Amino acid sequence: MREFTEDTITDAVLESVSAGREVRVRQVSSALVRHLHAFIKEVAPSESEWKAGIDFLTETGRMCTDVRQEFILLSDTLGVSMLVDAINHRLPGTSTQTTVLGPFHTDAPLFGNGADIRGHHTGPPMYIAGSVKNADAAPIAGATVDIWHADNSGYYDLQNIHRSAGIAGRGRFLTDVRGHFNLWTIRPCSYPIPDDGPVGKMLRAQGRHPYRPEHIHFMIQALGYRKLVTHIFAENDEYLDSDVVFGVKATLIRPYEERDGGVAPDGRQMSGRWFELQHDFELARDVEGQPGAAPVSRVGET
């Protein structure tokens, strides 16, 4: 029998996990043991502190439901989600930069260009338009543009406790032959991530706020190109420099232009205050042989 001490136990555990048949399992297990043991040696937790850590993770798991993923929030707020994103999306040239998916994406209906996706959300109208192109500035027709955002109180439709209200502030669109898409919705706002659980307690203990700057989510897919998951952030938002999930990139900040009446770009006659967001996206080619996204057909089409 071997006698394990704080000086010998790390090597003993590393030896035990080295028997895995798969190289990747051995690599991940060894790294986990090395870094976790190094963390414990650095902070030297008391037994009560270690129990508190285990209780924190247990509570995090208990907060997970079909509409809330507390572990994603934990990953996001510790900067891990953005680090994983950066490692997996080292994109070439001027390709549109990526950012975190977030916990509120779900399947959404397919709409025709020009449709209004506000649903039961209320707020000032917002016109969103843009194009999808490749590195040669050629339009990508038939790309699927998946859009979702919070309402002007900071809540996504999935957070509505009366979910019978239905889908709002989300939808999918197909780019036309010019690579163009356009739609109507309402302007969202900056908002706090759900902070009534263990992640919220962690943020308060760390002296941090729970806010994300105002943004709209985009997921864009086309055959032969890498899937793009990104946000477009509102220029001059007060939380751009302190996003709780570290998701802001300078190239993703755009003005949400305020308008007053007049004629919208799609010919709609407007009255009162409304907003406009125009942004073009560039997709990177799928040079790594990753599976592309299959074209999407509207109901009734082939």
Specify whether 250 is located in the same domain as 210: yes
pLDDT of residue 262: 97
Residues with Cβ < 8 Å from 130, sequence gap 6 or more? 180, 181, 182, 278, 279, 280, 281
Structure tokens at 182: 């356009």
User: Looking at the 3D structure of the chain, how many domains does it have?
Assistant: 2
For residue 169, the domain's CATH number is 2.60.130.10
Query: Which residue range(s) make up the domain with 252?
Result: 70-282
| Cα distance between residue 119 and residue 122, in whole Å | 8
Specify whether 167 is located in the same domain as 21: no
User: Nearest to residue 121, comparing CAs of 156, 93, 146?
Assistant: 156
Residue 10 pLDDT > 60, yes or no?
yes
Is 133 domain-assigned?
Answer: yes
pLDDT of residue 102: 84
Q: pLDDT for 182-194, tens place per residue?
A: 999 999 999 999 9
Q: pLDDT for 44-56, tens place per residue?
A: 999 999 999 999 9
Residue 293 pLDDT > 70, yes or no?
no
Q: What pTM, to 2 d.p., does this model score?
A: 0.88
Residue 23 pLDDT class (50, 70, 90 cuts): very high
Task: Give residue 88's identity as a one-letter amino acid code.
Answer: N
Is 65 domain-assigned?
Answer: no
Specify whether 204 is located in the same domain as 91: yes
Q: What is the mean pLDDT of residues 21-27?
A: 95
Residue 296 pLDDT > 60, yes or no?
no
Residue 177 pLDDT > 70, yes or no?
yes
- Decide if 144 contacts 293 (C-beta within 8 A): yes
Element at 221 (helix H, strand E): strand 215-221
Is 60 domain-assigned?
Answer: no
Is 220 domain-assigned?
Answer: yes
Specify whether 137 is located in the same domain as 229: yes
Residue 163 pLDDT class (50, 70, 90 cuts): low
pLDDT of residue 1: 53
Is 198 domain-assigned?
Answer: yes
Specify whether 102 is located in the same domain as 199: yes
Specify whether 17 is located in the same domain as 88: no
Q: What is the mean pLDDT of residues 101-116?
A: 93
Cα radius of gyration (the chain): 23
Specify whether 22 is located in the same domain as 171: no
Residue 297 pLDDT > 80, yes or no?
no
**271 or 158: whose pLDDT is higher?**
271
Residues with Cβ < 8 Å from 18, sequence gap 6 or more? 26, 30
Is 102 domain-assigned?
Answer: yes
User: Nearest to residue 135, comparing CAs of 283, 280, 286, 290?
Assistant: 283
